[in-house]
């Protein structure tokens, strides 16, 4: 078995990993925002249609 001795990611140069520490922030900080924004960007599911109606009808909730 001949495992290539990969040193992983191409951008992994010492000192400045890609997208890391843009403002001295750790790499996951962008990941967290991305995760969050991916939900914000999702279209509202169909189940929310009823909600719209409920609010339309006034407060008989």
Please tell me whether residue 9 binds other proteins under the rule CB under 8 A. Answer: yes
Please tell me whether residue 42 binds other proteins under the rule CB under 8 A. Answer: yes
> Which single residue is written with the structure tokens 């925002």?
33
Give the 3-state secondary structure of residue 26. coil
> Which single residue is written with the structure tokens 């939900």?
39
What is the C-alpha separation between 43 and 31, in angstroms, rounded? Answer: 20
CB of 13 to other proteins, least distance (A): 13
CB of 34 to other proteins, least distance (A): 6
Among 5, 23, 40, 53, binds other proteins (CB under 8 A): 40
């Amino acid at each position: 078995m001949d495992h290539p001795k990969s040193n992983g990611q191409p951008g992994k140069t010492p000192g400045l990993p890609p997208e890391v520490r843009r403002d001295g922030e750790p790499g996951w900080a962008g990941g967290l925002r991305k995760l969050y924004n991916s939900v914000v960007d999702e279209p509202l599911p169909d189940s929310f249609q009823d909600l719209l109606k409920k609010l339309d009808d006034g407060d008989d909730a």
